[in-house]
Amino acid sequence: MRLAVALGAGDIKQRFMRIAAALMAACQSQATAQERPPSPVAVTAVIERKIAAGQTIVGTVEPLRRSIVGTAVAGRVIEFPVNEGDKVKKDQPLAQLRLDALQIQRAAAVGDLEFRKQELAEMINGSRPEEIEQAKAKAQGAKALMDYRQYRLKRFRELMERKATSTDELQDAASASDQALALYLEAHKAYELVLAGPRQEKVRQAEAQVEVSDEEVNRIDDLIRKHTIVSPFDGYVVAEHTEVGQWISQADPVVEIVEVDQVEIAISLLEDYVANLRIDQEVRVEIGAIKQRTFAGKVALIVPQADVKSRSFPVKIRVENQFVDGLPMIKPGMLARVTLPVGAPASALMVPKDALVLGGPSPVVYAVVPGKDKNGPSTVRLVPVQLGVVDEDLIQVKGELQPGEQVVHQGNERLFPGQPVAILPSAPVAKAAMKDEG
């Protein structure tokens, strides 16, 4: 019994000390608040309006894009510079396959291409002056021989008329004259061909051979590029499917990459609510693993085909991700809660999103408390709120607030309860609030 009484007395003493410490802290805070000059703030009135009631749906975070990057060619992996969790940029190498055989083939193809180009250049440039002079000289020599043979034939005919030669000698002279004529005609045509240059058909054939050789080089270059597997977009490596030294066949997976600069939350919405949803409608998103933070999302996709059994439609909400130390806060696979304005219309209190102060146990706003007299400064009080649906730049709040009450929406980052404030004369008005004022 004495032990119990002693323990009870000790508890009472500790509780008294905690209360005393809290009172002292409050007094110090009030004294500090009175000593500090008023903080300039911009305020706006709490709006009451009828909006569609919020419906919270649970969904799963998915990456904006997911790609299992494979290989277009077979080969042995000689470099694999990425690991799971690495951030990669678009076109960054993910793996390198062996290239020795292709590099040899390319060198041969480049040599053949150069040979074909020189062949074509030779045809286009035509005959050299020395070649023309050579052909001309041969034609002139053949003509001189032909003239001589014809003269001898004429001479033998005259001798034959005088019976001064034999028939065989005349026939030999005639045969030699015919041969000389043929040689001259051949040399003359060769000279004309040298002057005319190559036929256009031959030039076209040479051009076609150059194009074939060029495309062969391009084909090998394409194969070389395919031996370097690159990232198709900016993202993070989430799975490895190969390693250095491993042989991979065509279409084998190499790595899996996800893009998470933006993420999508996949939910299923009942048919009673889907008619009230529209594309690009802004919604509020909470991630179970990220405490005391809310995110703004937009409806990105409404699949116009319901699941027959559940009578629900697939919907995707797109959210801009946030990064801390280079890592995404929202990660694929996380559980998310999405508040959609799809319920029956009901009266709700709305404040600008900028009026919210996040980061504590719950979202709060600072409400303005008018001074006791006209000359006395206004102060602020801390109001914990629960968040509801989003309407453009306004958000529904539930807490100890009244319609028309002033809340701080600019300069509220460093306020504390009871702090004096100086209200700025021209405060910006929220876009959605202007509709009510109009």
**Cα separation, 256 vs 349, whole angstroms:** 46
For position 94, what pLDDT does the model report?
97
Lowest-pLDDT range, 232-241, 254-263, 351-360? 351-360
Q: Is the pLDDT of residue 12 over 90?
A: no
Residue 7 pLDDT: 35
The correct answer on CATH 1.10.287.470 for the domain covering 105-222 is yes
What is the structure's pLDDT at 346? 81
Q: How far apart are the C-alpha atoms of 207 and 201, rounded to whole Å?
A: 10
- The mean pLDDT of 373-401, rounded to a whole number, is 84
Name the band, by pLDDT with cuts 50, 70 and 90, for residue 293: confident
Query: Would you state the pLDDT for residue 393?
Result: 81
- In this structure, are residues 213 and 112 in contact, taking their beta carbons and an 8 Å threshold? yes
Calpha distance 321→261 (Å, rounded): 5
pLDDT digits (tens, 9 = 90+) for 41-86: 899 999 988 887 788 899 999 999 999 999 999 999 999 999 999 9
SS3 label, residue 48: strand
Residues 6+ apart with CB under 8 A from 301: 264, 279, 314, 315, 316
For helices 167-196 and 129-161, give the axis angle rounded to 10 degrees. 160
CA atoms of 221 and 213, how far apart (whole Å): 13
Question: Which pLDDT tens digit goes with each residue over 95-148?
Answer: 999 999 999 999 999 999 999 999 999 888 887 888 888 988 998 999 999 999
What was the pLDDT predicted at 24?
52
Q: What does pLDDT average to over the chain?
A: 85
**pLDDT at position 36, please?**
65
pLDDT at 5 exceeding the cut of 50: no
Strand order of the sheet with strand 228-230? 228-230, 93-97, 75-79, 247-248
Going through 353-413 in order, the beta strands assigned E by DSSP cover 364-369, 378-384, 386-391, 394-398, 406-410
What are the sequence ranges of the domains in the chain? 105-222
Distance of alpha carbon 153 from alpha carbon 174, whole angstroms: 6
Q: What is the pLDDT, as a whole number, of residue 426?
A: 56
| Rounded-to-integer distance, Cα 245 and Cα 243, Å | 6
Pick from 156-160, 185-189, 433-437: least confident: 433-437
What's the whole-number mean pLDDT along residues 274-295? Answer: 87
DSSP state of 353: G
Alpha-helical regions (H) of 78-199: 100-125, 129-161, 167-196
288, 291, 286, 290: which is closest to 317 by C-alpha? 286
Q: What is the pLDDT of residues 349-371, one digit of tens each?
A: 999 988 888 877 778 999 999 88
> Could you tell me which of 319, 318, 385 has the C-alpha nearest to residue 358?
385
